[in-house]
Chain A
């Protein structure tokens, strides 16, 4: 059983398009996250949701809009894709927002914008 799953695994698209990445966790966690890993492997938090409410938004462009229909899902929609959006996007979840809670990551979605 996959704890944190993401679809699609790979996404190749043209500049200017709109795309979505889906994330689901079956761990019963309250908190979910999106991270971006750039070509140099640097991982940075983008968003965090707790019980469907946004709690972290790390100065991400407005073209990125997370949506949490329920606490087991956190989807990422990206409008007007740019070349610089090419990266690996990781979804993660943790029991709650407490500092000690470990974050468990999904397998990543490799986005390539041409």
Chain B
């Protein structure tokens, strides 16, 4: 069985603060993929990143960075210098075999 846990239900920060969204996963599969999606207030689901289980290199894309640690089964997401437009629900997801399993999401509110 697969499981994704996003322990932080809601986070509120002030603009320009850095914020880290936590994601912990469980799977028995040795080959799997991890994803982050963003759901802004408008409601659509936007793909952010994909990471495979054999690649533990951290990734940076602009103000976004991801830290994958297989030893702790974590795939955390950091936003540097947050902006109001970053306000959204962020979902971590795990895919092994056919199924994509989502965490319950973290609501990030960035206040001006």
Contacts and interface: CB of A to CB of B under 8 A. Distances in A.
B45 interface: yes
B102 A43 contact: yes
B16 interface: no
Given A42-B104, A43-B102, A107-B44, A99 B50 contact: no
Dominant SS among interface residues on chain B = strand
Interface string A93-114: 0000101101111111010000
Interface stretch (B66-74, B76-84, B92-100): B92-100
A41 B104 contact: yes
A100 B95 CA distance: 8
A97 B98 contact: yes
B104 A99 contact: no
Interface residues of B, number: 24
A100 B50 contact: yes
Given A41-B89, A42-B104, A102 B47 contact: yes
Interface residues of A, number: 24
Contact of A99 (B45, B47, B91, B95): B95
A48 to B, nearest CB: 7
B39 to A, nearest CB: 8
B33 A100 contact: yes
A88 interface: yes
Contacts of A43: 45, 91, 102, 105
Contacts of B104: 40-42
B50 A105 contact: no
Contacts of A45: 99-100
Nearest to A41: B105
A90 B45 contact: yes
Given A42-B102, A43-B45, A100-B52, 17 more contacts: A40-B104, A41-B39, A43-B102, A43-B105, A45-B99, A45-B100, A48-B98, A56-B98, A56-B99, A92-B45, A99-B33, A100-B50, A102-B47, A102-B50, A105-B37, A105-B47, A106-B44
